[in-house]
Structure 1
C-alpha cells in the first residue's frame, strides 16, 4: 500500500482566538484525512483548553511562544516542524511567527509550502497596523511570501490583492466550505419581532459601529418590529465602545446570555440592540434558528465563514463587497451594500438595511433558500478538501496543474 504524503498545517491559534480561520482549519483538516496524513501545529493560548475537544481526531501539536503576543515567535514550533518532517507545509495566516517557522523549515530542506493569507493581503488589512507589518515583512514575511510554492486565494478579489501586492507565485483559488446543518425547524413567518444577527469577532474592521449607526437612522415604525443581535468575543475593547455608541444614540441595549435571549423570544419587544457574548456549537445553532437576517457589514474579509453558515441556515444576508462573495448578489441570496467612497460608512449601510427589513417574510425566506442552495452546490467541505488535495499532489510532482491554479 502506497504511503500517504504527510502535511503539517501551521496556524497561530488553534482556538476561537483565530476567529473564522479556526473553523476553516479544523473542518478542512478533518476532511483531508482521507487523502493525507495531517497534523496541526499551533501556539498555546488562554482559550485552547475550552476548544481542544472540537478538533476531534486531528493530531494537534501545541508549543509556547516567547516575546510579544502580537508576534507569536516560537522556537518550539520550529523544532516541532523539523521533528515531524512533513512532505508539505500549509500556513494559515501571515504576519505571525508561524510564517518564520515555515520559512526556516523550507530553507533546511526545500520542501514545498502553501500560504493561505485569509484576506490579510487585502488593501484594508495592509493599511491596518502598517508599521508592524513593515517590520515583520522585512524580518521574514516578504521572503516567506515570495518563496511560497503556491498561495491560496479564497476568491478572485483576493487573487487580485495578491497580485497587487507584487507577488508572482502560482495562486490556487479555492473558497472556504461549510458543514450543512439540517433545515431550520423554527418558522420565520408571521413573527411579531424579528432578529438581525451578527456573529463573529467584535472588532472595528467588522463594521459593527457603522451597522449600529445605520440602525439608529431607520424609521421607528420599522425598528419597532426588529432587534439587532451582536454575538461574539470583543477585541480591542470594541464591545464597550459599541455599548457607549448605543447610549449616545439613545438606542435601548442590553447584555444577556444567548440562552436567555433565545428562551425569551416569545416575550421580546423590538427596537433594541442585544450583546449576547461568544456563541459556539449548539448555542450558535439556537441563535441562527431564531434569526431572520444575518448582517456582516465588514471592511475587510477573506471569505467569511459566518456568511456561509448563515446561508446554510437559510438566512438572507446583508453584506459588503469586501465579503468577497459576489455569488450572493448574482444568485439573489444577499443584499449587498454599495459604498460610494473608499471609506465605508454608515450612510451607505442605511439603504441596504432598510431594504432587507422591509421585505416580506416570504421574500426573505426565499432569499435564504437561494443561499442554502448556493452552499449545497459550491461550498461543502468535501468538495473543498478534494480541490486542496489536488494542489498538494501537484506541488509534490504527482499530478498535472489543477484547473484552480493560476500562474502569473
Structure 2
C-alpha cells in the first residue's frame, strides 16, 4: 500500500517558528487549525516549533494535541532550531504545512520535502505583502537566495488567506494560480451569553509600525472621545524598541483616556474582547488579522482599515472603515461612538454571524481536510 492509499487519518505536521504566544497571530492561527482539525477528524495534527519562555504554559492550550518543540539559538528574528529537522523526519508525516516565511523553518520545510518526497505546503500569513517585503530589503534578499526560493520551489501548494494575498504569492514566488488555495483563518465562536459592554475601544495585537498606532492615537485625540467617557486601550507585545516608541508617544500625548496594557492572554484577553464596544485596527498591512476574527467571535463590532483584507466585514455591516490617516480614523471613531444602541446591536449580530458561518471552525476545517487528504493521496 502506498502512502496515498492509506485509509487512516492523514498525519499532518504544522510547522511554525514559535509554538507559543511569541508567535503572535501566526501561533493563534496554527493553534486554532490544530484544534479544529482534531475535532473534525480525518487528519491528525502535530505542531512543531521552537521552545521559548512561554512554551510550558502555552502547551496547556493544545489539550491533547501533540506539540514537539526544540531549543533555538541565535537571533530571535531567525529562530535557528537545529534539532527541528530531525524531529520532522522522525514523525513519519504524510503532509507538512509551514506557517510563516523568512525564518529558519523555511529551510527545514524545504529539506523535509526533498528528503521525503512528500507534499509540502506554505502559508505566508501576509509576509509577502508589498509593505512587508519593502522593509529590511537586504535581509530578505539574502533569505531569498539562501533558502526561501528553495522552499518555494519545493512547495506543492501555497495557502493564501485572501485573493489579495494570492496575488502577492504569485508575484513573489512565481507560483501558478493552480498551486494557490484560498482558505480563511478559523475562529472559535463564543456561545456564552452576551456580555455587558463598557465604553472601551480596544486595539489588540503585535506592537509594530504596520499596526499604524501613531495615527490611531492622533485620531483618538482629535475625535474627542474622552469627554464622552470612552477610553482607548492598546494591548499587545512587540520588539522593545517598538514598545518604547509607543510608550513615549503616549507619555507625550498626556491623554488619560489612552492606556497601554502590555501583553494580554487567556482569560484577560477573553474579558477585554467581550467588554469592548469596538475593536479597532487601522493597519497598513495584514494577512487576515486574528484580532478582528476574535472580535467577531465575541460579537464585538470592529473599526478597521481595508488593509485588514476582510471586505465582508464592511458588506455585512460588522465593521466600519477607518482608513489609515488620523483624520479618517477620527471620523470613523466619531461615527462609531455616536451609534444608537439598536444600530450597535445590528453590528454585533452581523459580527457574530460572520464568525459562525464564513469563519467557523467546522466550515474551514472541512476545506483543509479535503486539501490535506488530496495532497497525501497524490503521492
Q: Tell me the TM-score normalized by structure 1.
A: 0.86
- For 1:133, the equivalent position in structure 2 comes to 140
Alignment of 1:239-318 (within 5 A): 239-252=243-256, 272-318=257-303
Q: Does 1:51 align with 2:58?
A: yes
Alignment of 1:9-408 (within 5 A): 9-33=14-38, 34-169=41-176, 170-188=179-197, 194-219=199-224, 223-252=227-256, 272-338=257-323, 344-397=324-377
Asked whether the 8 Å contact 1:65–1:73 carries over to 2, the reply is yes
Q: What runs of 5+ residues in structure 1 fail to find an aligned partner?
A: 253-271, 339-343, 400-408
SS at match of 2:280: strand
Asked whether the 8 Å contact 1:211–1:349 carries over to 2, the reply is yes
Cα distance, 1:315 vs. partner? 1.4
Partner Cα separation in structure 2 for residue 3 and residue 186 of structure 1: 42
Q: Tell me the TM-score normalized by structure 2.
A: 0.92
In structure 2, relative to structure 1, the CA distance for the partners of 1:54 and 1:212 (3 Å cut) is same
Partner Cα separation in structure 1 for residue 72 and residue 251 of structure 2: 40
Compute the RMSD of aligned alpha carbons: 1.9
SS at match of 1:378: coil
Cα distance, 1:37 vs. partner? 2.5
Identify, as 1 or 2, the structure richer in helix.
2
Question: When the two structures are aligned, how many residues end up with a matched partner?
Answer: 370
- Runs of 4+ deviating beyond 4 Å: none
Alignment of 1:1-16 (within 5 A): 2-16=7-21
Partner Cα separation in structure 2 for residue 335 and residue 128 of structure 1: 28
Asked whether the 8 Å contact 2:357–2:363 carries over to 1, the reply is no
Partner Cα separation in structure 1 for residue 201 and residue 192 of structure 2: 19
Cα distance, 1:284 vs. partner? 1.6
